[in-house]
Amino acid sequence: RVTRAATAKKERIWDFGVIPYEIDGNFSGLHKALFKQAMRHWENYTCIKFVERNPIDHPNYIVFTERQCGCCSFVGKRGNGPQAISIGKNCDKFGIVVHELGHVVGFWHEHTRPDRENHVVIEKNNIMQGQEYNFNKLTEDEVNSLGLPYDYDSIMHYARNTFSKGTYLDTIFPIEMPTRKRPEIGQRLRLSEGDIAQANLLYKCAKCGRTFQENSAAFTSPSYYSNQPPNEPERCEWRITATHGERIVLNITDLDIYKSNNCRSDYLEIRDGYWHKSPILGKFCGSGKVNDLIKSTGSRMLLTYTTTFRQANMRGFAASYEAVCGGSVNLESGGRLESPNYPMDYLPNKECIWKITVPKDYQVALKFQSFEVENHDNCVYDYVEVRDGDSADSRVIGVFCGYKIPPDMRSTTNKMFVKFVSDGSVQKAGFSATFMKEVDECEHMDHGCEHECINTLGGYECACYIGYELHSDKKSCENACGGTLKQPNGTILSPSFPNEYPILKECVWEIIAPPQHKITLNFTHFELEGNTFYQASECEYDSVTIYSKITEDNLKKHGVFCGTKLPGSITSESNTLRVEFKSDKTIQKSGFAAIYSTDVDECAVNNGGCQHECKNTLGSYVCSCHNGYTLQDNGHDCKEGGCKYEVTTPNGQIFSPNYPDYYPPKKDCIWHFTTTPGHRI
């Protein structure tokens, strides 16, 4: 039995096994769901608790962010405030996040143990230049001996070719033993049995009890069904975790615990939260059934069962619980709602109703971070319904399903009604949303905006009419280039064209056509600072950005352009096209010239009668179907086909099913390419 690569420094152990966290706002809802799934994986097998940071209780915490290191984390608790856990572009996989959280918990890489030579060989000649430090051996002062064997299966172990100069060059060789096959290393699927045992030892987890993440369960004390009394006093811990927006209802169906004064020595204690500082919901001893159901106010509950030698020959207790979604939510600031079992698939045949109330004179604002609910054109199966008030009769703000994140929304009063419904067929990952109290600063405050005040969640910002630009004071407006163009055709020129445009200019043109018309824009001259890549990251100096204005709050970007290559022809997706030009204070060029024209959009009314896609053409229109569907003989309707394609054309493109919308789940698609003999593809 040999040491494992856990930290030996006591100050790096997280107090009470509680690891507070925050997530940077630049991560998508899918990323946040992935992080939560990885944290739940650690919680499920250990007594470690990952909780959203509360500034009062949690001075030290981790922040999910993205750093230059890509995938990296400090080992254990640093102890001086926030510490980063970096999840870069290629790190956003379940197993990799679980691995990085292992560092947070306090684990070094398995191969860095002081006596690794008994288990692996490091091939230094195959290590990529500059990465040698990742294979340094640690000292006994840094690694704690927990009496556990070397774990080739650990999620903290490098793979055989990690940081290798070439894919087929190994950097770590497990030592061959005549009595066993050479083990595989570097799995990133799940915690190993050794990882679980080590974490429970490191954090001195109770030897009995467990973590519950299911919607419901029944459980008993260890000796409940045994005729043999325990040999020693017991201390067990059960941690019940539901999702945000759910409460836990506990039913103690049988109680047989030695009765001491005030249940001082032997007892079952229940707390409304995740740790010893949480409020006590009840402390029980004696015999009989607890008649009252015990309900949490949040999504966590902690049960501690403590006995002494007096408990011999007594059963202990039996209990069951259920996570109940919905309810009334009264908050001073904000909170979170999640579908049952999030981020895993929600449960069938659920109906959850939340009635959210914030203080008077405020509104309720709701913002979805992730959203994946069974799709249907009319949302008749699974859906989220939001109403402006606190009853099922209040005005409907929206009914949502599918894969697109709903827009931010707010109530007109201090109440909001949110309802989630699932049927018995298809289950998806569900949703996660935050809500907060919101006030319309534009209506209730002296905002000081000269032209327009735009209310935002948690604040406001000033804006100017077309033809004006915001002054540096962010409130007043001054004359600017650009303007509103309503003629059926015309020209747009950069400032001073054909001479060089001035520095530090921001111009906005809005071309507005009549309803049910579209606008086509063609550039005849184009010369801006920058290269010819049409990406925002490559046009950081001077640029032209073009949007279709779908609604006042919804702009769909066509592209960002710079350099000297003429952009292709652009057709709006609505009757308003927005062109934005900006220049910095360095290099000036001759700018651009463009002409525009308008045309009737037959697709604007009832999608031209097309079931899926309607493409406007000059003076007419054409219907088409999403990938995986075929157009019927009437030229308008689509019928779902298989997902197998025979491709014989000499060149072209292929698309995922339903492109450009989200592809459906559980599809198995095959493209079979065939060319004439003597040719390759």
The CATH code of the domain that includes 639 is 2.10.25.10
Q: Which residue has the tokens 């039913």?
A: 251
Interhelix angle for 29-45 vs 94-105, to 10°? 60
Residue 145 in domain: yes
Q: 18 burial class (0-12, 13-18, 19+ CB within 10 angstroms)?
A: buried
Confidence at residue 1, expressed as pLDDT on a 0 to 100 scale: 29
Give domain status of residue 146, yes or no: yes
109 annotated ligand-binding residue: yes
pLDDT tens by residue, 619-670: 788 998 877 677 888 888 887 666 778 888 888 889 888 788 788 777 788 8
Residue 130 region by backbone torsions, left for phi larger than 0, else alpha for psi between -120 and 50, else beta: left
CATH at residue 26: 3.40.390.10
Q: Of 137, 153, 8, give the one whose Cα is nearest residue 76.
A: 8
Among the three residues 279, 301, 325, which one is the final residue of a domain in this structure?
Answer: 325
Same-domain pairing of 174 and 293: no
Answer yes or no: is pLDDT of 87 > 50: yes
Query: What pLDDT was estimated at residue 2?
Result: 36
- Which residue has better confidence, 413 or 226? 413
Do 159 and 260 sit in the same domain of this protein? no
What is the pLDDT averaged over residues 231-256?
A: 92
Across residues 210-222, what is the average pLDDT?
95
The total number of residues written for the chain in this structure? 681
Q: Are residues 224 and 289 in the same domain?
A: yes
On the question of pLDDT at 168 being above 70, the answer is yes
Apex 286 CA angle, 285 and 291, nearest 5: 85
Q: Is residue 678 part of a domain?
A: no
DSSP assigned state of 669: -
Residue 263, SS3 per DSSP:
helix
Instruction: Decide if pLDDT at 446 tops 90.
Output: no
> Is pLDDT above 90 for 163?
yes
Segment 427-452 mean pLDDT: 87
Degrees (nearest 5) of the Cα angle 557, 560, 564?
Answer: 150
What number of other Cβ atoms are within 10 A of residue 474's Cβ? Answer: 10
- Based on the fold, state whether residues 218 and 158 are members of the same structural domain: no
> The domain that contains 294 carries what CATH number?
2.60.120.290
pLDDT at 145: 61
Integer Cα distance of 584 and 269 in angstroms? 65
pLDDT bin (cut points 50, 70, 90) of residue 227 is low
Residue 679 lies in a domain: no
Of 451, 472, 493, the one marking the end of a domain is 472
- Antiparallel, parallel or unpaired: β 415-421 and 430-438: unpaired
CB 305 within 8 A of CB 221: yes
Would residue 142 show up in a list of annotated catalytic residues for this protein? no
Distance CA 215, CA 663 (A): 29
Q: What is the DSSP string of 621-662?
A: EEEE--TTEEE-TTSS-EEE--SEEEE-SSS-----TTTTSP
99 and 221 together in one domain: no
Q: Which two tokens stand for residue 7?
A: 């930290």
Distance CA 214, CA 41 (A): 13
Mean pLDDT of 343-349: 90
Q: Does residue 58 share a domain with residue 196?
A: yes
Statement: residue 477 has pLDDT above 60: yes
Q: Domain range spanning residue 307?
A: 208-325
- What pLDDT does 472 receive? 62
Residues 24, 138 within the same domain: yes
pLDDT score recorded for residue 485: 92
Identify whether 318 is part of a domain: yes
Angle between helices 29-45 and 193-202 (to 10 degrees): 80
Whose CA is closest to 348, among 427, 277, 288, 285? Answer: 427
Q: Are residues 306 and 422 in the same domain?
A: no
Q: Which residues contact 661 (CB under 8 A, 6 or more apart)?
A: 403, 626
The single residue of 43, 52, 66, 100 carrying the catalytic annotation is: 100
**Residue 144 covered by a domain:** yes
Number of domains making up the chain: 6
Considering the domain boundaries, does residue 681 fall inside one?
A: no
Expressed in angstroms, the distance from the first to the final Cα of the chain is 57
Cα separation of 40 and 33, whole Å?
Answer: 10
- Residue 357 above 80 pLDDT? yes
| 238: phi then psi, degrees, rounded to nearest 5 | -115, 130
Backbone dihedral angles phi then psi of residue 310, each to the nearest 5 degrees: -70, -20
Q: Rg of the chain's alpha carbons, rounded to an integer? A: 31
- 680 within a domain of the structure (yes/no): no
Average pLDDT over residues 109-132: 91
Residue 97 pLDDT exceeds 70: yes
Instruction: Using CB atoms within 10 Å of the CB of residue 630, give its burial: 0 to 12 exposed, 13 to 18 middle, 19+ buried.
Output: exposed
> What's the 3-state SS for 424-471?
CCCCCCEEEEEEEEECCHHHHCCCCCCCEEEEECCEEEEECCCCEEEC
17 shares its domain with 160:
yes
Residue 5 has pLDDT above 70, yes or no: yes
Query: Mean pLDDT over residues 426-450, rounded?
Result: 87
Of 170 and 29, the one with more pLDDT = 170
Q: Report how many helices (DSSP H) and strands (DSSP E) the chain contains, helices first.
A: 4, 47
Is 416:386 a contact under the CB 8 Å cutoff? Answer: yes
Instruction: Output the pLDDT for position 282.
Output: 96
Q: Which residue has the higher pLDDT, 230 or 366?
A: 366
CA distance 182 to 170: 14
Q: Is the pLDDT of residue 167 over 90?
A: no
Burial of 92 (0-12, 13-18, 19+ CB in 10 A): middle
User: Do residues 222 and 316 lie in contact, with contact meaning Cβ atoms separated by under 8 Å?
Assistant: yes
pLDDT-based confidence at 216, cuts 50/70/90? very high
Q: According to the annotation, is 41 in a ligand binding site?
A: no
Same domain (yes/no): 453, 412? no
Rounded average pLDDT over 83-106:
94
- Residues 38, 20 contacting (CB under 8 angstroms): no
Write down which residue in 325, 350, 372 finishes a domain. Answer: 325
Query: Helix, strand, or coil here: 403?
Result: coil
Mean pLDDT taken over the chain: 89
pLDDT(107) > 90: yes
121 and 15, same structural domain?
Answer: yes
Residue 169 has pLDDT above 50, yes or no: yes
- Which of 62 and 244 is assigned the larger pLDDT? 62
Q: According to the annotation, is 444 in a ligand binding site? A: no
Structure tokens at 678: 């003597």
pLDDT digits (tens, 9 = 90+) for 229-238: 677 788 999 9
User: Does residue 156 share a domain with residue 124?
Assistant: yes
Closest CA to 329 of 352, 351, 355: 355
Distance (Å, whole) CA 623 – CA 613: 6
pLDDT above 60 for 489: yes
Greater pLDDT, 474 or 153: 153
The pLDDT tens digits of the residues spanning 521-544 come to 999 999 998 875 445 457 888 999
Q: Residue 3: pLDDT above 50?
A: no
Query: What pLDDT score was predicted for residue 670?
Result: 87
Q: Characterize 580-612 residue by residue with b for buried, 16 or more Cβ atoms within 10 angstroms of its Cβ, and e for exposed.
A: bbbbeeeebbbbbbbebbbbbbbbbeeebebbb
Cα dihedral sign, 365-369-373-377: positive
pLDDT of residue 229: 66
State yes or no: pLDDT of 606 exceeds 60: yes
CB 142 within 8 A of CB 179: no
Q: Which one has a higher pLDDT value, 204 or 661?
A: 204
Are 402 and 340 within 8 A, CB to CB? no
- Read off the pLDDT of each residue in 415-444 and give the average, rounded to a whole number: 90
Residue 4, pLDDT > 80, answer no
